[in-house]
Amino acid sequence: MKGRRETRTAVVVGAGLAGLTAATGLAARGIGVTVLEARDRVGGRTHGIEVAPGRWIDAGAAYLGDRHTELLALLGELGLKTTPTAMLGASRFALGAARGGEPTTRDGRFPPLNAVALGDLFELLDELTTTVRPEAPWLTPGAERLDTLTAAEWAEQHLTHPDARLFFPLFLGEMMAADPAAVSVLHLAFYLRSGGGLRYLNAFEGGAQQDRITGGAHLVCERLADRLGARVRLGEPVRAVHQDADGVTALTAHGSYRADVAVLALPPVLADAIEHRPGLPLRRAGERTARGCAVKASLVYPAPVWRDHGLSGWSVNARGPLLSTVDDTPPEGRPGVLTGFVTGAEAHRFAALDPAQQREAAARQAAQLFPMLPEPIGCHITDWVNEPYSQGCYAALLGPGDWLRHGPALTAPSGRVHWAGTETSTAYFGLMEGAIRSGHRVVAEILARG
């Protein structure tokens, strides 16, 4: 634009996938960048845990599929490989436990519930999903009604069979770490559509959970940060962002950082918690925007002994804390790692326990599901519910009214402030792919400023 000063510097707030994608993209085009990260590590909602020397698991985001093209391209650029998600063997289901039954073993992943009732549930969800406009959910036909109703209220109105009512919150917990009472029907339908559809999101082979990143997803951010070197500053939570006619200043406890533009690669609630001067024309989150409800409990054993018994390590359970489990054993085959997902309302209950109680509850339930298990040699609890610089995981949960009020301004810059993060991507919202795409979008926006 004539008369507008060329953008030469940018300050990026947040060193997760979105922030580091934006920062490296800008740096590669000659723009000076500084990345400010509140934590003492990069990675955001990707986080690796070393369970044995040189053997890592994902305590945060983990899975990808063949449609995640930007992530796959980035892995190739960084020299990283993928490992197929191990799903060989039978599954365990403790769905009858709510009615006093014992866990059962079943081939495949389809639960031992009424097939007609679950088929009807999936058809209803498919109908919702296909009506959504993923690029602009607020323009979906009937959006006002869908954005007013919670998923729990929708289930109360449409699900009559007890098996469908039992399975629905477990499904939402697995797919989007959500309590049905916390999300609008519009957000539920959008999330499924954005991620590639119900069947793609829920699938391992040929789906969104087909592969893991060899060595851990955290390696992506670590290698991006290595390219930036000292331009990434850890332990610098940003308290305020002030704009004026000439630039923007990010303020932390340790100093101030001046630039032409800022990129805020943060979840909506955290973006709102920063003092903005002048104030934002519209807040990034609403009163009913909730944090993603997920805790990961990773139990470590000398070996994946469930495999010797023809089991995949996959389970689905009506009672918590572990509402599902998956085989997270490193590709080397040792040690054995069984990761339990604590999601939805159960995540809040579990997160309130002290660490010893959490470990005991997780190990006890794992032993009930897989009686052949020895005592675990390690247990790693990753509480995303109370993580102060993520405010939940997999992503923020948009409640009633959020899409209609905040959706139209989702990506619009606020003066010199640009927005990134998986919650700003209408493609693959909540996934690593969405975070990377948001970083690319922000680079294009800033370059277009001139």
Confidence (pTM): 0.94
pLDDT exceeds 90 at position 7: no
Q: Angle CA(179)–CA(358)–CA(432) in degrees, nearest 5? A: 50
- For the chain, the maximum distance between any two Cα atoms, rounded to a whole number of angstroms, is 73
pLDDT exceeds 50 at position 373: yes
CA 285 remoteness from chain centre = 17
Q: What is the CATH number of domain 111-202?
A: 1.10.405.10
The residues near 440 (Cβ < 8 Å, ≥ 6 apart) are: 21, 22, 25, 70
Distances (CA, A) of 244 to 145, 251, 260, 284, 415: 40, 14, 10, 21, 9
Q: How many residues does the chain have?
A: 450
Mean pLDDT (the chain) is 94
Distances (CA, A) of 428 to 57, 103, 281, 433, 434: 23, 34, 26, 6, 5
The residues near 364 (Cβ < 8 Å, ≥ 6 apart) are: none
In this predicted structure, what is the pLDDT of residue 5?
65
As beta bridge partners, residue 49 has 57
Residue type, 273: A
In this predicted structure, what is the pLDDT of residue 86?
72
In this predicted structure, what is the pLDDT of residue 4?
54
In this predicted structure, what is the pLDDT of residue 3?
44
Rounded to whole angstroms, the Cα distance separating 20 from 224 reads 6
What digits encode the pLDDT tens for the residues 422-450? 999 999 999 999 999 999 999 999 999 87
Higher pLDDT, 109 or 307: 307
For residues 141-145, give the mean pLDDT: 96
In this predicted structure, what is the pLDDT of residue 2?
42
Residue 279 is encoded by which pair of tokens? 């104030």
For residues 119-132, give the mean pLDDT: 95
Residue 157 is encoded by which pair of tokens? 């109105």
Strand 378-383 and strand 417-420: the pairing is unpaired
What digits encode the pLDDT tens for the residues 187-223? 999 999 999 999 999 888 899 999 999 999 999 999 9
Among residues 53, 111, 130, 178, the alpha carbon closest in space to that of 318 is found at 111
Question: Strand, helix or coil at 143?
Answer: helix
Rounded to whole angstroms, the Cα distance separating 190 from 139 reads 12
In this predicted structure, what is the pLDDT of residue 204?
87
In which band, very low, low, confident or very high, does the pLDDT at 96 lie, cut at 50, 70 and 90? confident
Residue 416 is encoded by which pair of tokens? 């010199």
Rounded to whole angstroms, the Cα distance separating 413 from 68 reads 26
Extents of the domains making up the chain:
9-44+218-288+403-449, 48-66+82-88+206-216+293-383, 111-202
In which band, very low, low, confident or very high, does the pLDDT at 76 lie, cut at 50, 70 and 90? very high
Domain 9-44+218-288+403-449 in CATH: superfamily?
FAD/NAD(P)-binding domain (3.50.50.60)
Topology (CATH level 3) of domain 48-66+82-88+206-216+293-383: Polyamine Oxidase; Chain A, domain 2 (3.90.660)
In this predicted structure, what is the pLDDT of residue 109?
84
Under 8 Å between Cβ of 252 and 236: yes
**Could you identify the residue written with the tokens 């003492």?**
40
In this predicted structure, what is the pLDDT of residue 98?
46
For residues 152-168, give the mean pLDDT: 96
Query: What number of CA atoms fall less than 13 Å from residue 86's CA on the CB side?
Result: 22
What digits encode the pLDDT tens for the residues 380-401? 999 999 999 998 999 999 999 9
Rounded to whole angstroms, the Cα distance separating 41 from 57 reads 16
For residues 172-190, give the mean pLDDT: 95
pLDDT exceeds 90 at position 108: no
Q: Which of 5-14, 51-60, 265-274 has the lowest mean pLDDT?
A: 5-14
What digits encode the pLDDT tens for the residues 20-40? 999 999 999 999 999 999 999
